[in-house]
């Protein structure tokens, strides 16, 4: 299982995560911040739990490239 967490409120809208993992991230037209698709929001932490390991590499790239370090990817 892969767990991806996004602290959306701290997003600066750089779009890097969308460029490397467009299947998981999208930019909001409302506020210009990233959205973690199919995630559940819990007190500002948007979390997606997925059994699909094909998304792991792209999400790990998004985690590394994020300049404000608001993306966390782990295997559980």
Predicted pLDDT at 35: 97
Can you say how many angstroms the Cα of residue 30 is from the centroid of all Cα atoms in its chain?
Answer: 17
The string of pLDDT tens digits covering residues 31-63 is 999 999 999 999 999 999 999 999 999 999 999
With cut-offs at 50, 70 and 90, classify the pLDDT of residue 65.
very high
- pLDDT score for 64: 98
Q: What is the CATH number of domain 2-75?
A: 3.30.70.20
- How does DSSP classify residue 63? H
pLDDT digit string, tens, across residues 17-31: 999 999 999 999 999
Are 71 and 12 within 8 A, CB to CB? no
Q: What is the pLDDT of residue 56?
A: 97
Provide the pLDDT for residue 10.
97
What pLDDT is attached to residue 7? 98
């Amino acid at each position: 299982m892969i767990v991806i967490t996004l602290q959306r409120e701290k997003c600066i809208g750089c779009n890097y995560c969308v460029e490397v993992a467009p299947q998981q991230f999208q930019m909001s037209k409302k506020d210009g911040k990233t959205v973690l698709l199919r995630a559940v929001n819990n007190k500002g932490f948007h979390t997606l739990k997925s059994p699909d390991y094909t998304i792991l590499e792209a999400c790990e790239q998004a985690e590394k490239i994020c300049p404000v370090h608001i993306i966390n990817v782990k295997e559980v």
